[in-house]
Structure 1
Amino acid sequence: MAKVAIKSEKLSPFGGIFPIMEQFDSKLSSVIDSTLGMRCRLYGYQYSEIIRSLMSVYFCGGSCIEDVTTHLMYHLSLHPTLRTCSADTILRAIKELTQDNISYTSDTGKTYDFNTADKLNTLLLNCLLSTGQLKEGEGYDVDFDHQFIEAEKYDAKPTYKKFLGYRPGVAVIGDLIVGIENSDGNTNVRFHQKDTLKRFFERFEQNKLIINRFRADCGSCSEEIVEEIAKHCKTFYIRANRCSSLYNDIFTLRGWKKVELGGIEFELASILIEKWKGKAYRLVIQRQKRIDGELDLWEGEYTYRCILTNDYESSEKEIVEFYNLRGGKERIFDDMNNGFGWNRLPKSFMGENTVFLLLTALIRNFYKFIMARLDVKRFGLKATSRIKAFVFKFISVPAKWVRTSRQYVLNIYSCNNAYADVFQNDFG
């Protein structure tokens, strides 16, 4: 039997978290405190320290806010200068940052609540500009989608997916979340979407971000929404909802072009349509022969899908290929649900949970910043690795703080020399 020697030294199994905390402090703390304001003057925790503590939960493999108190507080507190707060303090701060809901009444007299979280949405963009992930004056492609989050909370409403929850609208640039507005789970996706998008676009423009192309699903295909989108971007690509009035025009089309997309054969064509009076747009039509051979009542032997756009120059194939890239954005929602706590909302009310959604989105954006600077191959990682893999490969390493020559030094107990290079060059 192997002999066991018990050591009482103050070792942490999460040695990789300390340079991450320092990087967060140098890049984001001043931005957070200047945007949200100072929380206290003397000995209390500032918002930057609270968000850094929340970040450490997910960067150390935790799944809920309470993990910082029950499992991580001792290890994180070993850092000689940076403070870590308890779960109770994080939850109090979330309540402090909560903005009141806005209520809209529909034509049928029903009331639906929205939470715009303006200050935190502003913070989200300020942090991305601070880290250089977004740059003033540059053009970007923006995606917009709704994510239904299951949550049996006090004010959660039943969604069309047959569970209680919320329905946040999320704007994405590349792999970064750049805006979130929450709403009741039973709200129609088009209801006041124009106002949500207008707020997003105005924030982008205030920060001198140029929107080149915009993509969205059929939930954005209405006259007022498309009109608002067209004001703020150069070109848009929106999945057109099925409309029986267009089938006659589609069925009489000639000159279909056969193309292969993702190893599947499709036929493409495009026409100019006046979907709304006085407004002509291009409709790119994609059809695929039914595999089962059965005839549909409306579509016959083909399945049709359409994209509404104001891009009159690109080919049909280029437009379809660009729009299909939108499907990769689902990975972001999956990442937020399983890696950053969206499947475990901490509070009972929508406004407070909206704060949590935005803070964890900020943390994920920062994670993407770290992965872009890290030599991932030396740690057995990829640029697209999930947070759990990052915890196992980078964060989970024994470490100890020692004081020598009037300064604190972090001793890493690892045979991987990459830690020394990374800490000294990138994170030091």
Structure 2
Amino acid sequence: MLKNTNTKVTPFGGIHLIHNRLISEGTIQFIDNELGGRASYVGFNYSDIVLSRVYTAFCGGNATEDVNYIRENTLGHLKRISIPSADTILRGDVELSTKCQFIETDSGNENKINVNSKLNKFLIRSGIRFKQIDPNDKGLVYDFDHQFIPAEKFDATYSYKKKKGYFPGVATISNIPVYIEGRNGNCNVKTAQLSTHERALSALEGEGLKPKYARMDSGSYLKEVTDYFHGKGIKFFIRANNSETLLTRAVDAGNWQTCTINFQDMEVASFKYRFGKHEHRIIAYRFPNKTGQMSAITNDAKNYLFIITNDNEISGEKAIRFYNKRGDSERVFDIQ
């Protein structure tokens, strides 16, 4: 039996379930308490702006302007929230933004970075408030990476990724973003790296989060960075850049052992290595290269990879497995 109804049908009806759950969790009050109020005459709170952005993405939107269509067909039926226009959302973005800073590299190039302490505090508190991160966890892992975001915006710059875009530094805990600093696309990842880590760790500690471990790619392979993390008592695992010194030391290492990691047969060794103010440990591992080409330094046809760490207890194999888990954090923007 057919029945006429005036109820609108939407392919995104599940957004109502999500919205109701967020309301029950006190999300609206949390956002407005953290980000503060807006002038009464504007008519929309920051919770309206933030959730409208999130819901637009959930409903297939990939640009701010998409909210105008989705609002009329789906979001406008949600209760206890006012869905603003794209223009209002963009004005809210400007209100929450901070001015960019300019830093000069050793080569004299000027790079642009953006530090937004208020929104980074909001990220951290959100992770804690919604139980994505446990401040009482004594084994928190701090993952850091620069994640390229392709974009054709007017201020996007050309990157070594062969695209225009931005290259923010992103710190995550349990794959939850907790600290983000904006950078232009052609900014060298090693530029002012220590300052970024200092701000990130300070923000985390300010909210009661004290990581026990840190995993970083070769962008953080800097003496001042290893000195900093070692001084804070954090066990770090950093991808070390290949060099003739490390390759020569690896070849001379006499403690190579075989193992299989992710279906790859390899050999693993470790040796002491002074880097910066302290003596640390290099985890070296090697496996046959695909071309069979011999190296003049190692006199073999193998790929060599290195991890520097101040953890003297962990086995080489476990160190590699632990470091490889940071691969999930590298894709956090792709997933979200």
* TM-score (normalizing by structure 1): 0.73
Does 2:144 align with 1:144? yes
In the alignment, the residues of structure 1 paired with residue 98 and residue 288 of structure 2 have an alpha-carbon distance, to the nearest angstrom, of: 50
Q: Helix, strand or coil: the match of 2:198? A: helix
Give the corresponding residue for 1:8.
6
Cα shift readout 1:149-199 (whole Å, capped 9, x = no counterpart): 221222222211222211101111122111111111111111101111111
Q: Do the aligned partners of 2:143 and 2:216 also contact (CA within 8 Å) in 1?
A: yes
Give the corresponding residue for 2:100.
101
Give the corresponding residue for 1:64.
63
Q: Helix, strand or coil: the match of 1:318? A: helix
Give the corresponding residue for 2:310.
310
Q: Helix, strand or coil: the match of 1:211? A: coil
Give the corresponding residue for 2:119.
120
Between the two proteins, the alignment pairs up a number of residues equal to 333
Q: Do the aligned partners of 1:73 and 1:86 also contact (CA within 8 Å) in 2?
A: no
CA shift in 2, pair 1:116/1:297, >3 Å? same
Offset at 1:43? 6.3
Give the corresponding residue for 2:227.
227
What residue identity is the alignment partner of 1:79? L
Does 2:134 align with 1:129? no
What residue identity is the alignment partner of 1:61? G
Offset at 1:34? 1.9
Offset at 1:42? 5.5
What residue identity is the alignment partner of 2:21? Q
In the alignment, the residues of structure 1 paired with residue 325 and residue 109 of structure 2 have an alpha-carbon distance, to the nearest angstrom, of: 36
In the alignment, the residues of structure 1 paired with residue 162 and residue 207 of structure 2 have an alpha-carbon distance, to the nearest angstrom, of: 39
Q: Do the aligned partners of 1:73 and 1:84 also contact (CA within 8 Å) in 2?
A: no
Offset at 1:74? 4.0
What residue identity is the alignment partner of 2:156? A
In the alignment, the residues of structure 2 paired with residue 256 and residue 324 of structure 1 have an alpha-carbon distance, to the nearest angstrom, of: 20
Q: How does 1:211-222 map to 2 (within 5 A)?
A: 211-222=211-222
Q: Do the aligned partners of 2:71 and 2:83 also contact (CA within 8 Å) in 1?
A: no
Give the corresponding residue for 1:18.
16
Moved more, 281-290 or 55-64: 55-64
Q: Do the aligned partners of 1:171 and 1:179 also contact (CA within 8 Å) in 2?
A: yes
In the alignment, the residues of structure 2 paired with residue 321 and residue 180 of structure 1 have an alpha-carbon distance, to the nearest angstrom, of: 26
Q: Do the aligned partners of 1:27 and 1:130 also contact (CA within 8 Å) in 2?
A: no
Q: How does 1:395-414 map to 2 (within 5 A)?
A: none
Q: Do the aligned partners of 1:27 and 1:131 also contact (CA within 8 Å) in 2?
A: no
Q: How does 1:129-278 map to 2 (within 5 A)?
A: 129-139=128-138, 140-276=140-276, 278=277
CA shift in 2, pair 1:234/1:4, >3 Å? same
In the alignment, the residues of structure 1 paired with residue 165 and residue 104 of structure 2 have an alpha-carbon distance, to the nearest angstrom, of: 20
CA shift in 2, pair 1:249/1:24, >3 Å? same
What residue identity is the alignment partner of 2:195? D
CA shift in 2, pair 1:263/1:136, >3 Å? closer
Give the corresponding residue for 1:284.
283
Offset at 1:281? 0.3
Q: Helix, strand or coil: the match of 1:265? A: strand
How well do the aligned residues superpose, as a CA RMSD in angstroms? 2.0
Q: Do the aligned partners of 1:214 and 1:233 also contact (CA within 8 Å) in 2?
A: no
- Which residues of structure 1 form unaligned runs of 5+? 337-428
Q: Helix, strand or coil: the match of 1:52? A: helix
Cα shift readout 1:342-375 (whole Å, capped 9, x = no counterpart): xxxxxxxxxxxxxxxxxxxxxxxxxxxxxxxxxx
In the alignment, the residues of structure 2 paired with residue 96 and residue 281 of structure 1 have an alpha-carbon distance, to the nearest angstrom, of: 45
CA shift in 2, pair 1:230/1:255, >3 Å? closer
Offset at 1:12? 4.2
In the alignment, the residues of structure 2 paired with residue 164 and residue 284 of structure 1 have an alpha-carbon distance, to the nearest angstrom, of: 35
What residue identity is the alignment partner of 1:107? D
Q: Do the aligned partners of 1:172 and 1:179 also contact (CA within 8 Å) in 2?
A: yes
Q: Helix, strand or coil: the match of 2:329? A: helix
What residue identity is the alignment partner of 1:330? E
In the alignment, the residues of structure 2 paired with residue 181 and residue 161 of structure 1 have an alpha-carbon distance, to the nearest angstrom, of: 19
Q: How does 1:73-92 map to 2 (within 5 A)?
A: 73-92=72-91
Offset at 1:215? 0.4
In the alignment, the residues of structure 1 paired with residue 96 and residue 203 of structure 2 have an alpha-carbon distance, to the nearest angstrom, of: 19
What residue identity is the alignment partner of 2:112? D
Offset at 1:10? 4.0
In the alignment, the residues of structure 1 paired with residue 333 and residue 80 of structure 2 have an alpha-carbon distance, to the nearest angstrom, of: 35
Offset at 1:11? 4.3
In the alignment, the residues of structure 2 paired with residue 35 and residue 233 of structure 1 have an alpha-carbon distance, to the nearest angstrom, of: 31
What residue identity is the alignment partner of 2:291? D
Give the corresponding residue for 2:40.
41
Q: Do the aligned partners of 2:213 and 2:235 also contact (CA within 8 Å) in 1?
A: yes
- Which residues of structure 2 form unaligned runs of 5+? none
In the alignment, the residues of structure 2 paired with residue 206 and residue 160 of structure 1 have an alpha-carbon distance, to the nearest angstrom, of: 35
Identity %: 33
In the alignment, the residues of structure 2 paired with residue 297 and residue 57 of structure 1 have an alpha-carbon distance, to the nearest angstrom, of: 56
Q: Indicate the structure whose relative CO is greater, using CA pairs within 8 Å and at least 6 residues apart.
A: 1
In the alignment, the residues of structure 1 paired with residue 26 and residue 331 of structure 2 have an alpha-carbon distance, to the nearest angstrom, of: 26
CA shift in 2, pair 1:35/1:81, >3 Å? closer
CA shift in 2, pair 1:9/1:137, >3 Å? closer
What residue identity is the alignment partner of 1:21? H
Offset at 1:6? 6.0
In the alignment, the residues of structure 2 paired with residue 116 and residue 127 of structure 1 have an alpha-carbon distance, to the nearest angstrom, of: 18
Moved more, 308-317 or 150-159: 150-159
Give the corresponding residue for 1:356.
none
Cα shift readout 1:253-297 (whole Å, capped 9, x = no counterpart): 213111111122111111011133x42000111011334332023
* TM-score (normalizing by structure 2): 0.92
In the alignment, the residues of structure 2 paired with residue 134 and residue 5 of structure 1 have an alpha-carbon distance, to the nearest angstrom, of: 49
CA shift in 2, pair 1:43/1:148, >3 Å? closer
